[in-house]
Amino acid sequence: MNTYHFSKRLLLVLVVLMTIGVSGVHAQEKTVVTWWTEDYVDMDALTTLLIEPFNAAHPDIELQVVPTATLDDAVRTAFTAGAAPDILQTPGASFIGEYVNAGLIHPLTADAATLGWEGKLLPWAYQSGIIEGELYSVPLTYETMILLYNKTLFEEKGWAPPATYADIETIAAAAQAEGINPFSYGNAGFQPSNEHLVGIYLNNYAGAENVYKALMGEKQWTDPEFAEAISLLTKHIAEDGWFDGNLETYFTYGWNEQFTALASQEAAMMMIGTWGFRGAGEFFADSGSDWDWVSIPPFSDMAGEYNYMLATGSTLSVNGQSKNVDAAVSVLDFLFSDPARVLQIASGYSYGEFVVPLNYKAEDFPEGTDPRISRFYEDFATVTGQGRVGYTTWTFWPADSDVQLWKEIEQVWYGELSVEDYLAAHQATWDEARASGKTLPIPAR
Amino acid sequence: MNSFIANDGAFASVRQPSSRPSIWNVLGRWAFIMPLIVLNLIVIIIPSIFGLLLAFTDWSGYGPINFIGTANFTKLFQDKIFFQSLTHNLVWTAFFLTIPIAVGLLGAYLLSSIRRGQMFFRIAYFLPYVIASVVNAQLWRQLLHPRVGIGPLLAQQGITFLDFPIFGTRETSLMGVAFVDAWHFWGFLVILYLSAMAAVDVELYEVARLDGATRFQQFRYVTLPSIRPTLVFTILMITIWSSLVFDYVYIMTNGGPANSSEVMGTYLYQHAFDRFDVGYAASIGVMMSLWAMIAVAGFVILRRRGWDI
């Protein structure tokens, strides 16, 4: 009897152990894909719109998205420890260059060809991730610079939205005559905001074609058209008081102040990235004013017809040390294959984040989308589709050149550094970047 | 055991030293200090050596590390912005060695004579010190805001000296940030000095009073000499901390406008994290460490010369 009981118990234990073992094997079979993202994401929306649908569609994969503070610092440290996430999110293209140089990124060219990503993504966005013939990254979001204006103020004063540089000058003069600042902007809390203005003046005065040539090394940054562009910006911001009235106020205005000024009719216009849609929505809501946008007009004949400056925000790549490359690629493909899903996520950020550069159609936009925003995306697709594109500094400039551009421009504005010396120093950073292979991919025009 | 609980003579007989400690005795001693040595090795010594070595490389923070000799230091000694930052650190140090210490001493001396409610003031003065720098910085950015801060408010009453963008003006940005940092820091000094003053023999004050000393003379000739070790300690620490200043500058101005508030800490950060030039950033870090070493060396020299500090 004892032997029987013993055998029965033994059998029971064995069954339990085997069950645990089998379930363990099952648990191990499920591939976990990790993706560390910025800590300001709306995790509820991301869970509902991306994580759960992906996991449901891929029973053998579990996607884990982890909001991470100071994301790039954390990722960089994790790489050193050999514990970086499978999907690599970086703050921008210049970071990707560094990772690629270090051999830490998995090339996606073959996967992209198999999965047809070139057809799903906007052509320039796809090309922006190609370094030395291999696709290494895809933008998680894209943006461009636009001109927001206080529509109510414009209607009250009888001003038409500016279509030319002459219009801007006329409006600026009329606004200043009435004690209104032509433009609102500032760099408090984010000093690189300077580069938004520098980039606009380089592209819209010297012209995107000239900027492209300089990016490719076919022109020097010290050439006269670039010097004139920087001089014009310096005149507007330091002498004419176009931005917030004076330089000192520009240096103390941040996101809240600049939108408050625009919404309260303290300022008439604002040149900002498309992330500004979010600010416009928030700050105009109870202001009694309404807003609208136009593309930034060319500032000179050299600039030709208006265009949109290309810009990528965060980028996505696959960790070259990952053991789950295929699963990570399937997450990216899931994202690129459903434009409506992406726009639904992006709408939660007023289209300021998570706008993956896909070929969107009108029906992809969620119901109730602000027509001003959908109008932008339609126009952006049309204009950039015709090759009318400019270049943002944070997407196409090497890191050192970019920092020099936004850091030292303040000395130019204060007259501590001549425009010539500023641009000569800028050219020197480019020469160094070119010599050390740190230039970034530039989509062909 | 018996000998241990017996008289001193018996105890001494047990404790008679042998000519050489046994191997187990030596190992036992090492075993006690080994955790600390390992901890120091991992947390301080290895990272310090690694940081020092990085100063001789061109590491971007990502890929392979190449040694480039003293190129970073050659570049550093020709870097105008670095010397501008270094100057700002010196100005910062001079400011913190005067204003906060003077105000801290005054606050502590006045507070030391209060019997009722002293704890309230202690807490009130110390509170800013335990609040996160981000919160303090944001608070003062609003208080000194050119549109909605104290400046425009006072200007309505005809007092206009604060009615300008303090953090956006080159001439005031560094001192503006230093003021905010000092505001959060001086309460800490008050508490330190107050504790030191509490240990001063009250009879010294009584004798001074009998000799007809005024309050200022009591402070000058009794209080100050009595708290000198604490005072010198705070001077040393402020000198070292001033080379490391980062958070308030980074949050409030990021070194701007036009480098007018750039300090070594923010300049280092810019190179390490914005320009991907960790090697160069490490060379700036070496200079910051050198500053601290000079301060400590001065402290040690003074002690060796017999200063009671």
**Cβ proximity of A403 and B267 under 8 Å:** no
**Cβ proximity of A211 and A302 under 8 Å:** no
* Residue B2 binned pLDDT confidence (cut-offs 50, 70, 90): very low
| A-proximal residues of B, 118-147, CB under 8 Å | 141, 145-147
Distance, CA of A294 to CA of A400 (rounded, Å): 32
Whether B247 has its CB under 8 Å from any CB of chain A: the answer is no
- In the predicted structure, residue B4 carries a pLDDT above the cut 70: no
Which pLDDT belongs to residue B269? 95
- For residue A91, what are its two tokens? 């703050």
* Residue A445 binned pLDDT confidence (cut-offs 50, 70, 90): confident
Domain assignment of residue A108, given as a range: 30-141+313-365
* Residue B213 binned pLDDT confidence (cut-offs 50, 70, 90): very high
Which pLDDT belongs to residue A15? 56
Angle at the Cα of A94 from the Cα atoms of A88 and A96, rounded to 5 degrees: 30
Question: Do A184 and A129 fall into the same domain?
Answer: no
Which pLDDT belongs to residue B6? 44
Domain assignment of residue B192, given as a range: 79-304
Which pLDDT belongs to residue A22? 47
Question: Do B48 and B88 fall into the same domain?
Answer: no
Measured between beta carbons, the chain A residues lying within 8 angstroms of B165 are: 248-249, 251-252
CA-wise closest residue to B180 among B247, B278, B235: B247
Which pLDDT belongs to residue A25? 47
Question: Do A121 and A77 fall into the same domain?
Answer: yes
Residue B18 lies in a domain: yes
Residue B269 vs residues A52, A82, B254, B279, B285: alpha-carbon distances, Å: 39, 24, 10, 12, 10
CB-CB under 8 Å, A251 with B273: no
Question: Do A211 and A281 fall into the same domain?
Answer: yes
Q: Could you give the 3-state DSSP secondary structure of residue A280?
A: helix
Which pLDDT belongs to residue B271? 95
Whether B78 has its CB under 8 Å from any CB of chain A: the answer is no
What is the ipTM, given to two decimal places? 0.81
Question: Do B150 and B34 fall into the same domain?
Answer: no
Q: At residue A259, what are phi and psi to the nearest 5 degrees?
A: -75, -35
A382 CB-contact burial (10 Å; exposed 0-12 / middle 13-18 / buried 19+): exposed
- In the predicted structure, residue A258 carries a pLDDT above the cut 90: yes
Residue A443 lies in a domain: no
Question: What does the pLDDT look like over B276-294, one tens digit per residue?
Answer: 899 999 999 999 999 999 9
Question: Do A208 and A137 fall into the same domain?
Answer: no
Which pLDDT belongs to residue A360? 86
* Residue A121 binned pLDDT confidence (cut-offs 50, 70, 90): very high
Q: What is the mean pLDDT of chain B?
A: 90
- In the predicted structure, residue A112 carries a pLDDT above the cut 50: yes
Which pLDDT belongs to residue A351? 84
Question: Do A325 and A430 fall into the same domain?
Answer: no
- In the predicted structure, residue B1 carries a pLDDT above the cut 50: no
The residues, any chain, with a CB within 8 Å of residue B262's CB and separated by 6 or more, are B81, B84, B85, B88, B249, B255, B256
Which pLDDT belongs to residue B3? 41
Mean pLDDT on A234-244: 97
Whether B259 has its CB under 8 Å from any CB of chain A: the answer is yes
Q: In this structure, which amino acid lies at residue B71?
A: A
Question: What does the pLDDT look like over A135-160, one tens digit per residue?
Answer: 999 999 999 999 999 999 999 999 99
CB-CB under 8 Å, A399 with B276: yes
Residue A279 lies in a domain: yes
Question: What does the pLDDT look like over A309-342, one tens digit per residue?
Answer: 999 888 999 999 999 999 999 999 999 999 999 9
CB-CB under 8 Å, B254 with A411: no
Q: In this structure, which amino acid lies at residue B85?
A: S
- In the predicted structure, residue B249 carries a pLDDT above the cut 70: yes
* Residue B13 binned pLDDT confidence (cut-offs 50, 70, 90): very low
CATH number at residue A116: 3.40.190.10
Q: What is the DSSP string of chain B?
A: -HHHHS-HHHHHHHTPPPSS--HHHHHHHHHHHHHHHHHHIIIIIHHHHHHHHHTTB---SSS---B-TTHHHHHHTT-HHHHHHHHHHHHHHHHHHHHHHHHHHHHHHHHHT--SSHHHHHHHHHHHHHS-HHHHHHHHHHHT-TTTSHHHHHHTTT--TT-S-GGGSHHHHHHHHHHHHHHHHHHHHHHHHHHHHHTS-HHHHHHHHHTT--HHHHIIIIIHHHTHHHHHHHHHHHHHHHHH--HHHHHHTTT-STTTT--HHHHHHIIIIIS--HHHHHHHHHHHHHHHHHHHHHHHHHHHTT---
The tally of CA atoms less than 13 A away on the side-chain side of residue A73 is 8
Number of domains in chain B: 2
Percent of chain B with pLDDT over 90: 78
Q: Which residue has the higher pLDDT, B115 or B183?
A: B183
First to last CA, chain A: 88
**Cβ proximity of A395 and A382 under 8 Å:** no
Residue B175 lies in a domain: yes
- For residue B3, what are its two tokens? 């000998």
Question: Do A243 and A117 fall into the same domain?
Answer: no
Question: Do A134 and A153 fall into the same domain?
Answer: no
Percent of chain A with pLDDT over 90: 72
Measured between beta carbons, the chain A residues lying within 8 angstroms of B164 are: 248
Residue B64 lies in a domain: no
Whether B152 has its CB under 8 Å from any CB of chain A: the answer is no
Residue B68 lies in a domain: no
- In the predicted structure, residue A291 carries a pLDDT above the cut 50: yes
Question: Do B173 and B244 fall into the same domain?
Answer: yes
Q: How many CB atoms lie within 10 A of CB A170?
A: 14
Q: What is the mean pLDDT of chain A?
A: 91
Pairing relation of β-strands A145-150 and A291-294?
Answer: antiparallel
Mean pLDDT on B90-116: 93
First to last CA, chain B: 44
Q: Which residue has the higher pLDDT, A111 or B148?
A: A111
Q: Which residue has the higher pLDDT, B257 or A5?
A: B257
Question: What does the pLDDT look like over A72-100, one tens digit per residue?
Answer: 888 888 887 889 999 999 888 778 888 88
Which pLDDT belongs to residue B9? 44
**Cβ proximity of B96 and B178 under 8 Å:** yes
Residue B205 lies in a domain: yes
Residue A22 lies in a domain: no
Question: Do A267 and A282 fall into the same domain?
Answer: yes
Which pLDDT belongs to residue A17? 54
Question: Do A117 and A230 fall into the same domain?
Answer: no
